[in-house]
Structure 1
Amino acid sequence: MAEFLYRTGRWCARRAKTVIAAWALLLAAAAGAFVLFGGTLTSAFSIPDTPTEAVTEQLKDAIPAAAGGTGSIVLSTEDGAPFTAEQQSQISDLVAQAADVDGVAGATDPFATEAERDAQTRAVADGRSQIETARGELEAAQVGIDLARQQGADPAELDAQQAQIDAGLAELDAQSAALEQGATLLELAQGIRMVAEDGSAAVVTVAFDEPQMEVAPETKAAVTDLFGGATDNSDPVAGVEIDFSSDMLESVPSVFGVGEIVGLVVAAVALIIMLGTLIGASLPLLTALVGVGVGAMTTMSLSGVIDMASVTPVLGLMLGLAVGIDYSLFIVNRHRRQLKEGYDLDESIALATGTSGNAVVFAGATVLIALAALNVTGIPFLGLMGSVGALCIAVAVLVAVTFIPALLSLAGMKILRRKERAAIAAEHPVPETAAEHAPAVKAMRTPSALLRVVVGIGALLVVAIPALDMRLNLPDGSSEAHDTTQYQAYATVAERFGEGSNGPLLVVATLPGSPDEAQAQTAQVQIAQALADQDGVVAVAPIGASDDRTVAAFQVLPETGPTSEATEALVHTLRGLEIAGVDSIGVAGNASGNIDISDKLADALPVYLGVVVGLSLLILILVFRSIFVPVVATLGFVLSYFAALGGVVAIYQWGWLADVFGVDSPGPILNFLPTLLVGILFGLAMDYMLFLGSGMREAYAHGVPARLAVVHGLRAGRSVVTAAAIIMIAVFGGFVFSHSAMIRPIGFALAFGVLVDAFLVRMLIIPALMHLFGEKVWWLPKWLDRLLPDVDVEGAALERRHPHVEPKEAVAAR
């Protein structure tokens, strides 16, 4: 591989304009594909084979009208007064128009619904009164018949009258039973309101034809535009504020905000400080932007044929920027060092591509494999995220080993500072041997090494403690920024209608046999009562039944919000509920679906973590030809991972430093973040381990004592790893202040994970442990040593095949 990359770098340097033109064409092609074939993104997530999906499929067959997704439009008067008659009329007109939108099954008029509820309540009272009146009349007639019998009236005639009275009483009993069943259902549903008790707020529920995860964004947009749009604040009803729940909006995270720009500026500053020139600093940034452009727009061009979550291309952007800058930096830094040692320009570009480029390819491959392995979780949207991330990593590697050599060729010697160029012209230095080049070093002291291990591991364990309390879910309206319409809708509903109104549950009961109408009605009341008797249930309302009356659906209003632990417990309780005469109970709805996704992700995490840990051990054994180094490096990754999760939980779930990080409403952690973090952080941790550990291995292979080799490798690689880590932290950290509730914790987890892994694990704990174990660090069974191929990550063999030839004029000058 190193030889191939050497030739590739030399070819790209000699045909710089051709290579640059080729990448420009690729970028243009990706942009064209995006414009022509790019579709829409979704903020919804689904996983097949979950209980919620099963119930949804059941409803599609049994009660199609109840299987569609829903969204809420929240209206409230600006002055807090009840809606006026004119406002109610205008809102009702908008509801009627919304019901006619393509893809909308219906829209609920809150005022008509409350009026109907009031009418039903009155009808129950009137029905009871009429039944009592009729019963009184029949009882009076019964008294008359009894008196007539005593007076000896005709028995046959009295028997006929008695039969009529008995039939009337039986009919009244049946009517009364049916009326009381209706009254019971009406009473159980009292907590489900569409208009607030003070009349100042109302909720319009929009029902869609398709299930929640399949509703077309255009359908939602048509409804929100009808009610005034989500962003233009042009409310069509005077004096009424209109907000939309997160179910009504397809929010695509913005790519570049202030935070992202600040992150890139910090990365640029770090590059300028390390490389010393604007040209040198601009090359990694330029190549990263080209790579991200190709990768991200190629990904977006597939969104027309693949259901893609809105966070997916943003993830590719984050990774592409971070690793694109870092990988290019490794090659540019090696090239600059070689130029200062007297290498010719073309010779240096080729050698830097063959050596550092080889390490970049190997490091990129580890990240790519870890991300692609997300497909083994069996979770489609997560596998797609991994595939997109892997694509962006692959593009970043290709850019680094082809585009960078071309740009370096055009930049020439200007990649160096003026003083450095002048020194080269005056001295023509001869490259030093490894021993001459390395400064005099001393092995670290054993007590100091022991202290580093204890302090470093102790700090990571303390930071990881909050991870023990981690709760997973998808963000809802409460997690959004407080100035968004999603949050305002959530807050208004929670305040005026109760927390549970933001996440009602859809409960489906399956009845045995072929019940008639009376049996189905009785079962419906029995089920509703059983549901209402559960702790945490505020109200229950029947919403439909199948034509054969074997499937009944209910809306259950929980006491707590959709992401609370109590609601999660309630979902599991309802699914385990046993009701006499009922075959099964299922639960669906947004809150239920999110709980199922979180549960399945949590189940998949240990498997994926095991795959990644095993992969880590194999790769590092292959690279370092050691047992100790892979084990310690992998355990270090595990520590970094849980420390990163601990930081996320402390800030985004517990609310520590919430003001600093812009966390308006702490809550559960994004449910796919822990799994995603495994793949990304593993790859980055292996990058740093390769760039530091390979130097230690090389020094040891050249005869340097094991403990001194640790210091040699650390000193040789720490500057570039430090710069690379700072750049990673800056790029990822820029997304911490994104406007998207999904992106913020991902950005923080990656930035914090890189911070602790690079500076605590790779440059503090692992070198200290390697010092403590001395020569045992590089032990490898002989049989395994014979089986393993020789992986020359740093390209040392390439340097021996292409030794630097000192220019004749430099020799003559001496």
Structure 2
Amino acid sequence: MATLLYRLGAFGARRRRTMMLGWLIVLAAVAASGITFGGSLQNTKSIPGSPAQTALTRMDQHWPSPHSQSAQVVFQAPAGHRLAEPGLQEPMHASLAAAGRVPGVTAVGDPAANGMISPDGRTAVADVDFGTAEDEDVPAATLDALKATGDTARAAGLTVVYGGAAYVPTDAPMGPTELIGILVALAILVVTFGSMLAAGMPLLTAVLGVVGSMMLILIAASAVGVSENAPTLAIMLGLAVGIDYALLIVSRHRAQLAGGMAVPESVARATATAGGSVVFAGATVLIALAGLSVAGVPMLTSMGLASAGAVAMAVIMALTLLPALLAGLGRRLVPKPGSRAAGVTHPDKTTIGTKWVGAVLRHPVRNLIVVTVGLLAVAAPALRLQTSLTDEGSNPTSTSTRQAYDMIGRAFGPGADGPLVVLIENTDATTTAEAAAAAEKDLHGVPGVADVSGIDVAPDHTAARIRVIPATGPRSPETSDLVSRLNAAVAPVARQHGGRVAVTGQTAVSIDVATRLSGALIPFAVVVVGLSLLLLTIAFRSVAIPVKATAGFLLSVGAAFGATVAVFQWGWLAGPLGVPSLGPVASFAPIIVMAVLFGLAMDYEVFLVSAMREDYGHRRDARGAILVGARNASRVVTAAALIMIAVFLTFVLGKDPDVMPIAFGLAFGVLVDAFAVRMTLVPAVLALLGDRAWWLPRRLDRWVPHVDVEGESLTAALGDAARTTVGDELRTGSAAR
């Protein structure tokens, strides 16, 4: 692999104008295709074939309705008054009548006829249907016009709030807060490199990679279903790894330039050596993200594959466009004499990284115990982790959808925000009616049921449905337990009368998805742990290194989950972080955090330990190799981690309830993994193991393939003579042009 990457880097340096022009054409073509042929993103959160989803599909066949956007209008009378009062009832009806005349509105429900007036008579809910398809956004002019119809009711003293799916805010995947993250990343790069020019290279390639991957996602959305959360996650990861991967190559290139190496040769070698680490690190992230598809949840699959595409684009950019850009800048990237960037390459230079690791090595046992116990303590809250799919109650309280959600919950009970439906089907109309009556009778005695509606018979009389209002909210664990009790309660009806009886509704579908995702977390963790052991055994040809790295990864994941529970469920620091609501985190957040953090943890392990292994191979001094590796790699690992944390935290500030726990978990996980695990536990464990850290049994050695991650064999083969020859060849090619 090192030889192939060397040739790729050499080609990029030799044909830099061709490479840059080619990328410009490709990106322009992809952008034009994405804008012209890009499809719409989907907001579906279901599992095809799940019991609740199957029943929901059958219910739609019995009660056909257009798949269009809808909204809710909530009217509430002042305290001490009822909507039935003439001075309030007439303005409410006038507003509803005006709503029905809004262009784009196809139907407005009657709260009284639909049983949507609260027991105290103060609150009413009217359903509004639009002519807009459910996978499209209702025009803003239509939504504003509908809101304006409430002026009459407001003038009479009523509180009028508009909510529902049509009013759910659709934020762009990238906004002002994410731009702040880019600026912070640029500042970190400037401090790391001591050069604005060098700092701009990783940022430029990362941004171009994100733009390209976003356009490809839009193109894919025209052919397959893509979750609306996929672009946000892809941007977050694409920016973070894109900057970090380019950072590694640029750092190696500048170190070689400081040593006097020719520019073309330095570009080729940096691509072959640091580029090898980029390929290995990127491959681990890709495998973990692609592995999310095994859960069988389309939403999660699209998020994983879209993010994997963004990471792949970041790797390709770092290996192709970046060498051309570095060659074009020539020796302007050489660190200034006496600067910190130049000092890192000096063998006698003491850096902050060597001071940190030196302090760890003075008391390895103490540091090992203290950090391990501390991380276990932080991870302890993870045992209380609760998950569910987000709904309108997860939105910020400043949004009208959240306000409507809360008003309905207070007026009708928390279960009114997530009703359940019991569907009864039978080919015989008489049997259907009998089964429905029996089911309705049994439902009244189920604990956790707040209300049971009357029986609604389908026009073809082969199906009936009963609306069930839980006593708890849709994201509550008690509601999930209620679904299980309802299925058990109505099962005898199907056995006695024949046909099918099932619990469905959007809340039941969401519970199915959450259950599937929760069940997939442990098997996925087992796969990730096994993959970690395998990949690191191949990379470092050691038994202890993979075991130590995997244990550290599990500590990092546990700490990330524990901190997430403390913030999003218990409310610690929820105010400063702007968490919109406390409760279960998004069901797909833990598995995504585990997948991404696995890849990033392997990145830091490879960056840091490969530098130690390289020095150990030369001098066979286990303790000295730890210090040398820390001096050579700690600065890059620190900068990479800080950039990751900055990018992730800006997505926390975006207030997206689906993305916030993922971004926070990744930011905290990277903080722990980079500084507590890789920069502290790794040196402590290696110091205690000594030469045994690099031992591999002979029998296993014969079976483990040789993978030169850092390009050591290529470096040894080339030597100084090859450096001159290749450099002359590259310069000759340049002159020939």
TM-score of the pair, normalised by structure 2: 0.89
Alignment partner of 1:599 is 2:515: yes
Alignment partner of 1:731 is 2:735: no
Aligned residue number for residue 325 of structure 1: 243
Aligned residue number for residue 730 of structure 2: none
Aligned residue number for residue 183 of structure 2: 265
Aligned residue number for residue 728 of structure 2: none
Shift in CA distance, 68/107, structure 1 to aligned 2, threshold 3 Å: farther
Alignment partner of 1:90 is 2:94: yes
Q: Does the CA-based 8 Å contact 1:271-1:281 persist in structure 2? A: yes
Aligned residue number for residue 365 of structure 2: 450
Alignment partner of 1:503 is 2:425: no
Distance 1:303 1:249 in 2: 23
Distance 2:376 2:11 in 1: 49
Shift in CA distance, 444/788, structure 1 to aligned 2, threshold 3 Å: farther
Q: Does the CA-based 8 Å contact 2:604-2:678 persist in structure 1? A: yes
Determine which of 117, 135, 141 is the counterpart of 1:195.
117
Shift of 1:30: 2.1
Superposed CA offset, 1:752-789 (max 9, x none): 11111111111111221122122221221112212222
Q: What does residue range 387-402 of structure 1 map to in structure 2 within 5 Å?
A: 387-402=305-320
Q: Which one-letter code corresponds to 2:563 in the other structure?
A: G
Shift in CA distance, 644/566, structure 1 to aligned 2, threshold 3 Å: same
Question: What secondary structure, in the 3-state scheme, does the structure 1 residue paired with 2:549 have?
Answer: helix
Distance 1:403 1:365 in 2: 19
Question: What secondary structure, in the 3-state scheme, does the structure 2 residue paired with 1:326 have?
Answer: helix
Superposed CA offset, 1:338-362 (max 9, x none): 1111111222111111111121112
Q: What does residue range 548-563 of structure 1 map to in structure 2 within 5 Å?
A: 549=461, 551-563=463-475
Shift of 1:315: 0.8
Distance 2:152 2:639 in 1: 56
Question: What secondary structure, in the 3-state scheme, does the structure 1 residue paired with 2:619 have?
Answer: coil
Question: What secondary structure, in the 3-state scheme, does the structure 2 residue paired with 1:221 have?
Answer: coil
Q: Which one-letter code corresponds to 2:138 in the other structure?
A: A
Shift in CA distance, 25/99, structure 1 to aligned 2, threshold 3 Å: closer
Q: Which one-letter code corresponds to 1:87 in the other structure?
A: P
Aligned residue number for residue 408 of structure 2: 493
| Structure having the higher Rg | 1
Alignment partner of 1:109 is 2:100: no
Aligned residue number for residue 579 of structure 2: 663
Q: Which one-letter code corresponds to 1:6 in the other structure?
A: Y
Q: Does the CA-based 8 Å contact 1:574-1:585 persist in structure 2? A: no
Aligned residue number for residue 661 of structure 2: 745
Question: What secondary structure, in the 3-state scheme, does the structure 1 residue paired with 2:439 have?
Answer: helix
The number of residues matched between the two structures is 707
Aligned residue number for residue 5 of structure 1: 5
Aligned residue number for residue 758 of structure 1: 674
Q: Which one-letter code corresponds to 2:369 in the other structure?
A: V
Q: Does the CA-based 8 Å contact 2:68-2:134 persist in structure 1? A: no
Q: Which one-letter code corresponds to 1:52 in the other structure?
A: A
Question: What secondary structure, in the 3-state scheme, does the structure 1 residue paired with 2:469 have?
Answer: strand
Aligned residue number for residue 630 of structure 2: 714
Aligned residue number for residue 559 of structure 2: 643
Superposed CA offset, 1:152-181 (max 9, x none): xxxxxxxxxxxxxxxxxxxxxxxxxxxxxx
Determine which of 295, 300, 304 is the counterpart of 1:386.
304
Shift in CA distance, 36/59, structure 1 to aligned 2, threshold 3 Å: same
Aligned residue number for residue 50 of structure 1: 50
Shift in CA distance, 46/244, structure 1 to aligned 2, threshold 3 Å: farther
Aligned residue number for residue 683 of structure 1: 599
Shift in CA distance, 109/317, structure 1 to aligned 2, threshold 3 Å: same
Determine which of 363, 366, 380 is the counterpart of 1:465.
380
Q: What does residue range 283-682 of structure 1 map to in structure 2 within 5 Å?
A: 283-419=201-337, 448-510=363-425, 514=428, 516=430, 521=433, 523-546=435-458, 549=461, 551-578=463-490, 579=492, 581-583=496-498, 585-682=501-598
Shift of 1:496: 2.0
Q: Which one-letter code corresponds to 1:347 in the other structure?
A: E
Shift of 1:89: 3.1
Shift of 1:281: 0.9
Q: Does the CA-based 8 Å contact 2:413-2:471 persist in structure 1? A: yes
Distance 1:499 1:692 in 2: 51
Q: Which one-letter code corresponds to 1:467 in the other structure?
A: A
Shift in CA distance, 234/661, structure 1 to aligned 2, threshold 3 Å: farther
Question: What secondary structure, in the 3-state scheme, does the structure 1 residue paired with 2:117 have?
Answer: coil
Aligned residue number for residue 123 of structure 1: none
Q: Which one-letter code corresponds to 1:34 in the other structure?
A: G
Determine which of 697, 708, 721 is the counterpart of 1:792.
708
Distance 1:460 1:803 in 2: 45
Q: Which one-letter code corresponds to 2:280 in the other structure?
A: F
Identity of aligned residues (%): 38
Q: Does the CA-based 8 Å contact 2:360-2:367 persist in structure 1? A: no
TM-score of the pair, normalised by structure 1: 0.81
In structure 2, list runs of 5 or more residues that go unmatched. 726-737
Shift in CA distance, 107/331, structure 1 to aligned 2, threshold 3 Å: same
Shift in CA distance, 8/48, structure 1 to aligned 2, threshold 3 Å: same
Shift of 1:310: 1.1
Question: What secondary structure, in the 3-state scheme, does the structure 2 residue paired with 1:109 have?
Answer: coil
Superposed CA offset, 1:413-433 (max 9, x none): 222455469x99xxxx9x98x
Distance 1:596 1:94 in 2: 39
Q: Which one-letter code corresponds to 1:2 in the other structure?
A: A
Q: Which one-letter code corresponds to 2:44 in the other structure?
A: A
Distance 1:294 1:282 in 2: 18
Determine which of 672, 682, 686 is the counterpart of 1:770.
686
Question: What secondary structure, in the 3-state scheme, does the structure 1 residue paired with 2:49 have?
Answer: coil
Which is further off, 760-769 or 309-318? 760-769
Q: Which one-letter code corresponds to 2:127 in the other structure?
A: T
Superposed CA offset, 1:555-607 (max 9, x none): 11111111112211111110111545455541111211111101011111222
Aligned residue number for residue 64 of structure 1: 63
